[in-house]
Structure 1
């Protein structure tokens, strides 16, 4: 009799498992669809996302199946996947591959890439200063300021002018649901934060930006790009850019893996027209000329870190030769008007100095290494902030420029409200040589005065391109600054009067004190595109007894 009842109970449990299994399968399929839609995993064998989605989606079916064999198989596949990822991607096994990811580096000096400072157009407006200017402009339009938000500003070159660009984004889900699009974008000059433009029309037609980072479902720009025939390639780093005609796009990086499931490497870009939604994919080297960011910042930063970390393999107990990236990367436009990711490298551990800089072309990934021992950006910023500590100024991220042939950090100084109040210059190799003033021109004069009185600063600039000139003095004037007298000279070379103003102190040459208009002089200076340049040598050939 007991056997009879046991058979009935067993049949009941089997009957109950049938619906549970169906429910489990249905839940797994639904979960797979939901995760696949919202997570948008790359459908590639060397991308881990799709395997993770499948394993997670399979869980309801595994649990509700009620079979130990199915659960054991799921667990085995999960462990197998983890083992494959580790064996093919772990740095401890592939340190050399990660070290090589950055590519071949070419040793060079700063004059190959650093842009000479342009006092009239120095791009010292930081991202937060640009964002503040954009938000202020938006708040001036009451009907608009409460409807949309300013997106993240991105620096780019538009028609040879360096600007910050940010799209107007939805302020929330219900604003997106009600409006469907935003009415334009903002542009701020990287030189003057007061130069702000709100672009709401293009070719006489109102702008309607639909495909945005703040949109939802099919309007979310990354999902839209993914579902437009790009499910099998890696997509990342979508940033707003405008072309030379002002058409707004999101530009994303297409990438692949070079070390198992890791070692991300840019292989092209994808553009999404923020208005029409048109999606185009470009291979490396075939991108439109207006696109500045092809190499994803996150990849370059990771590869710089790996280059410094695995210089002598994974196991390096003494940290011999190990370097790390100091701070964050900055996008700097070089003397060739090309964009470069710039990262300062410092030795492992706490260190206030840099061993050198990497300049990586953000379009072609050409890598240049500048082995110039220098102070860190934080050290330079603190040095400038401490010139007038009572004012509580905060420096923007210092940018590297050539000032009179010397590699120099240049930055803006802001008050507690974030308004630019002054500027600072710091010699990258000697943070005791500082210039701070209310205007950039005055800062340059102060900095030149400090450099002129510091012979060590002049002597260590061996990589500077020295220029020599002879001529007659047209004008000479003196100015007392920083407890010393600075002399300013203009020359006539015989056929024309030079527009350059040469400056130096009596510490450079006692002959400056005796020089008069009409005297014949010979001088040297570092190649620069600034109007006022500091002299490295000075000789008055008309002074009797001086050869």
Structure 2
């Protein structure tokens, strides 16, 4: 027989009022008044997924979805030679591990227990990461320039040539007189003149220099002004591209029947880089170049890169994909089969890097660090010149020490990588720029980075001189070997004639050689009229010969003798033969038979400003 005893009586507390122990004090302790009841608002922890198969499928699904989104946005090449691929795989492994821990639930006693639990869940990703790290370490060692210096110096085959014999003397309708900055200004200004485009589009920052129909030009596409304008115009595409003639400074807006739909500034699947990645997921590409073929059809030239030394070293071009900018059609060519109209396959930076490998390591890695015998590097700058239908990259070559002289220069074909080295000790490009700026220091003009020309067999720096507004005002020529020989002119032809005169005076070339070039650009006669005008702070003289209708303009800074010439003097005027109009730029004026004892007289007439080509402004004579 079971007897239930309740010390508190009838279910009450034995320490409560009326209980058998109700009057006693047990050190301040009091019995609880009511039993504890759990709160309904408290939530239980989420249960882990119990099924191993379900857990694995969930982890894989989340990882795949994340990977697809990441691949669409970042576009890493699926290639063991690409560092981006390793980052992509490491990130996927991290996502999988996080999912595995969350779907299993944290288990373990203490830090060590948790670590063992995580390691167990992430065993396969851990092995993948460890394997890739091992591959990268071994590949990095095999790519080291310390071990493979000889392979690096052979990346760029170089032939030594004779400058005077191999480099053509170009006419000035083949020589780019604009630099990239000036071309950019002209392109932006031209778009601003087009009312139907300026509100919707902007000019892309491509300005690729190419050889188009035998002339050096820069081409660039357009891009949408913003995302709203893209949405409104994306169906028709970009309606045109720009061609900037580097010799005449003329800008042409080439309108298209069907708009350009694939550019680097496009969005989603029409973005050029994304379009290429989906077509060629394993290829590594260099920066695409915008070019046009001889018919004017727009293309993107996308060089396919490869690492030829070890796993990560010896970057070189393996081929190129040509993408039709209108249709998006892609065609791959091996490097030896690339069409001849393509000009930019090997970038200038890649060629310079490969030459620096040759210059540093052709006598071994140790020599590049200790002794540095015959160690050479390219100068900090380059330019382009068109020759034989291709675009060549030019850069100076200097010794490894910090000096202001060159030991030679290289010309490299940017389509074939054919490279020639021409030994020629002389001033470097920046010294030549300083010399040209010094001749015109009162004007405060800034020289552009020079081109390298063959002028009468002499390697010559040619550069444009720009004012503070970025406008080309004059041109300068500086002899590479004797950089104190500096000539300037308001036209390239004027600068060349003055330069040839200096070469003859210095004995660098013979008088016969110089005159053979200069005589084609001379006019002789008697001065019939002289006018003057002040333009941009310079006094210009406008000379007319008897029996002629044209005026020849020249500044006092170019020829000081013109200040004391008078009507009736017999003179010889050298001028630019390619110019037309009623006012021609002269670059030298000399007496044919200098009058003896003639007193100076004021020029016959003044004009407030130069008359435009094709017009002659009549003014009253100065009294």
Q: Which TM-score tier does this pair reach, normalised by the shorter chain?
A: 0.7 to 0.9
User: Which residue number in structure 2 is paired with residue 87 of structure 1?
Assistant: 141
Residue-by-residue CA offset, 1:24-44 (whole Å, 9 max, x unaligned): 544432332233223333333
SS class of match (1:93): coil
Segment of structure 1 superposing worse, 181-190 or 51-60: 51-60
Contact persistence 1:187–1:196 (CA under 8 A):
yes
Q: What is the TM-score of this pair, normalised by structure 2? A: 0.68
| Deviation for aligned residue 1:78 | 5.0
Distance 2:452 2:426 in 1: 11
Q: Work out whether residues 396 and 412 of structure 1, in 8 Å CA contact, stay in contact via their aligned partners in 2.
A: yes
Residues 240-286 of structure 1 show CA distances to partners (whole Å, capped at 9, x for unaligned) of 11111111111111232211223122122211111111111112232
1:147 is the counterpart of 2:200: yes
- Answer yes or no: is the 8 Å Cα contact 1:412–1:424 preserved in 2: yes
Unaligned runs of 5+ residues in structure 2 are 1-43, 102-117, 527-553, 563-570, 575-587, 595-623
Q: Is the 8 A contact 2:291 2:342 kept in 1?
A: yes
Query: Cα gap change, 1:19/1:210 in structure 2, threshold over 3 Å: closer, same or farther?
Result: same
Range 376-385 or range 35-44, more displaced: 35-44
Aligned to 2:113: none
Secondary structure at 1:371's aligned position in 2? strand
Q: How far apart are residue 468 of structure 1 and its match? A: 9.6
Give the 3 Å change call, closer, same or farther, for CA 121–263 of structure 1 in structure 2. Answer: closer
Structure 2 match to 1:196:
251
In the aligned structure 2, how far is the partner of 1:145 from the partner of 1:504? 47
TM superposition shift of 1:17: 10
* Matched position secondary structure for 2:349: helix
| Greater share of strand | 1
Instruction: Say whether 1:368 aligns with 2:424.
Output: no
Give a deviation string over 1:220-240, Cα, whole Å, max 9, x none: 112212322x22332223111
C-alpha separation in 2, matches of 1:148 and 1:262: 41
Distance 1:317 1:395 in 2: 37
Bigger drift between 440-449 and 151-160 goes to: 440-449
Give the alignment partner of residue 494 of structure 2, picking from 442, 447, 463. Answer: 442
Which of 208, 213, 223 is the equivalent residue of 1:169? 223
Q: Distance in 2 between matches of 1:413 and 1:435?
A: 12
Aligned counterparts of 1:302 and 1:274: Cα–Cα separation in 2: 30
Change beyond 3 A, Cα 1:24–1:349 = farther
Tell me if 1:251 matches 2:306: no
Deviation at 1:404, TM superposition (A): 1.8
- For 2:523 and 2:190, the matched residues in 1 are separated by 46
Native 8 Å contact 1:410 1:426 kept in 2: yes
- Out of 41, 64, 68, the residue aligned to residue 29 of structure 1 is 64
1:341 and 1:243 map into 2 onto residues whose CA distance is: 20
Aligned position for 1:431: 483
Which of 344, 347, 365 is the matching residue for 2:399?
A: 347
How many angstroms apart in 2 are the aligned matches of 1:403 and 1:30? 63
The 3-state SS of whatever aligns with 1:299 is: helix
Match of 1:241 among 284, 291, 296: 291
The residue aligned with 1:184 is: 240
Change (3 A) 1:11 1:275: closer
1:51 aligned residue (68, 86, 91): 86
Matches within 5 A, 1:4-15: none
Larger RCO of the pair (alpha carbons < 8 Å, separation 6+)? 1
Contact map agreement 2:501 2:514 (CA 8 A) in 1: no
Equivalent-residue separation in structure 1 for 2:524 and 2:213 (angstroms): 39
- The answer to whether the Cα contact below 8 Å between 2:62 and 2:99 also exists between their aligned partners in 1 is no
What do the CA deviations read for 1:71-111 (whole angstroms, capped 9, x no partner)?
Answer: 753653353143123122122221211111112x2110113
Q: What residue number does 1:498 align with?
A: none
- Give how far 1:135 is off: 0.6
Mapped contact 1:385–1:393 kept (Cα < 8 A): yes
What SS class does the counterpart of residue 425 from structure 1 fall into?
Answer: strand
**Secondary structure in 2 matching 1:327:** coil
Question: Matches of 1:477 and 1:373 in 2, distance apart?
Answer: 43
| Runs of 5+ unmatched residues, structure 1 | 1-8, 460-464, 490-502, 506-511, 515-547
SS at match of 2:175: coil
Distance 1:407 1:251, change over 3 A: same
Contact 2:174 2:215 survives alignment (8 Å): no
Whether 1:157 and 2:211 are equivalent positions in the alignment is yes
Paired residues in the alignment total 471
Question: What is the DSSP-based 3-state SS (H/G/I as helix, E as strand, rest coil) of the residue aligned with 1:208?
Answer: strand
CA change 1:224–1:10 in 2 (3 A) is: closer
* Equivalent residue for 1:108, pick from 152, 155, 161: 161
Q: Aligned partners of 1:219, 1:12: CA distance in 2, in Å?
A: 45
Q: Deviations over 1:310-344 (max 9, x none)?
A: 2332232233222222123322212x333222221
Partner of 1:271: 322
Between 123-132 and 82-91, the greater mean CA deviation after superposition: 82-91
For residues 79 and 274 of structure 1, the distance between their equivalents in structure 2, rounded to whole angstroms, comes to: 39
1:292 aligns with 2:348: no
Seen in structure 2, the aligned counterparts of structure 1 residues 353 and 19 have a Cα distance that, compared at 3 Å, is farther
For residues 475 and 29 of structure 1, do their structure 2 counterparts lie closer, same or farther at Cα, with a shift above 3 Å needed?
A: closer
Residue 380 of structure 1 is aligned with which of 425, 432, 435? 432
The DSSP-based 3-state class of the residue aligned with 1:115 is coil
| Counterpart position of 1:138 | 191
Q: Secondary structure at the match of 2:131?
A: helix
Contact 1:21-1:64 at 8 Å conserved across structures: no
CA gap 1:288/1:117 in 2 versus in 1, 3 angstroms: closer
Matched-pair contact (CA < 8 Å) for 2:172–2:247? no
Tell me if structure 2 keeps the 8 A contact 1:257–1:264. Answer: yes
Q: Secondary structure at the match of 1:227?
A: helix
Instruction: Tell whether the 8 Å contact from 2:168 to 2:454 is kept in structure 1 after alignment.
Output: yes
Structure 1 residues 133-158: Cα deviation after superposition (integer angstroms, max 9, x where no partner)? 11101001234113211122111111
Task: Give the equivalent residue in structure 1 for 2:374.
Answer: 321
Aligned residue in 1 for 2:577: none
C-alpha distance in 2 between matches for 1:364 and 1:347: 27
Runs of 4+ in structure 1 off by over 4 angstroms are 9-24, 465-469, 474-489
* Structure 2 match to 1:99: 153
Q: Tell me the alpha carbon deviations over residues 481-532 of structure 1, each in whole angstroms, 9 at most, x when there is no partner.
A: 778999899xxxxxxxxxxxxx999xxxxxx999xxxxxxxxxxxxxxxxxx
Question: What is the CA–CA distance in structure 1 between the aligned matches of 2:226 and 2:354, rounded to whole Å?
Answer: 36
Aligned to 2:4: none
Once residues 200 and 34 of structure 1 are traced to their aligned partners in structure 2, the CA distance between those partners, rounded to angstroms, is 37
Compared CA separation, residues 441 and 342, structure 1 to 2 (3 A): closer
Structure (1 or 2) with the larger CA radius of gyration: 2
